[in-house]
Amino acid sequence: MTDALVILGAGVMGTGIATLALVHGTPVTLVDTTEEALTAARRTIAKGQRMAQLMGAAPEGVKPAELTTSVDLAEALAARPVLAVIEAITEDAALKAEVLGRVAVAVKPGTPVVTNTSSIPIDELADAVARPEDLLGVHFMNPSYLISTVELARGRRTGDAAEQAAVRVLESWRRKVIVVSDAPGFVTSRLLHPMINNAARVVQEGTASVSEVDALMQGCLGHPTGPLRTADLIGIDNLVDSLRVLHERTGDESCRPCELLLSKVRDGHFGRKTGRGFYEYGDALS
């Protein structure tokens, strides 16, 4: 039986990573807490697979692998040999640590245990796992199946074997892997998230509109989509969670979420996945 990738969390990142693995022929077991979330995830993954085909992001001649789903973490980890486990749940350090701790004792030693955190230091999470040498961070961008570069964060206690095993998996999916040292936000979030926060603050202060900020960043500074449209793609709720983690761990005031971001979260306007954020969309992702 082919080893399966186990993904924890059927949200935006979990479904995107699942899509990436499946179109490259890697079986996936997707775990979440409710059948409703998993049913919605199957629809999202099917849409993602179609998009990957249309965009040339799926390799030719490779049959998409099988997707299975489960609401039972222990059962999912025991059902078949595990290639690696990727945790992609909410950006909550205590919750991530608890889940990663459960995973680490359930899989064979040497199995890469990966967190997709965008901001929490790996070594902080490593305190909760039985074998910290197997823990590392891989920060996928969204949508994972279209963006071909990934950031691999190696904690102080991450072992060479886990890093090498993770790189082999990622390269089998045709990803370019860049290994960075452990720090809050690593490289991408530490640069991108304060920039988005400042872009939202510019709108909040009335200096320019949402579309004007994005147009200037695209046309003058070469940002591919504009920071506020990027916020909608990330999920404004996820962005605020990440900014809070960065602010708490670095003290950088540019990481304190601005009131405009907080108001959108209070209103449930999380971005593309809810149909409304800085922009309005025809339908929510599901």
3-state secondary structure of 173: coil
Of 139, 193, 223, 269, which residue is the catalytic one?
139
176-181 and 149-154 beta bridge pairing: parallel
- Please, where are the H alpha helices in 160-251? 160-172, 188-204, 210-221, 227-234, 236-250
Strand partners, 6: 29, 85
Length of the chain as a residue count: 286
CA dihedral of residues 268, 271, 274, 279 (deg, nearest 10): 100
Q: Tell me how many degrees the CA angle 245-251-252 measures, rounded to the nearest 5.
A: 90
Structure tokens belonging to residue 248: 């708490």
Q: How far apart are the C-alpha atoms of 55 and 273, rounded to whole Å?
A: 20
Q: Are 28 and 18 in contact (CB under 8 A)?
A: yes
Q: What is the 3-state secondary structure (H, E, C) of 95-114?
A: HHHHHHHHHHHHCCCCCCEE
Instruction: Reply yes or no on whether 269 is catalytic.
Output: no
Q: Which residues are catalytic?
A: 139
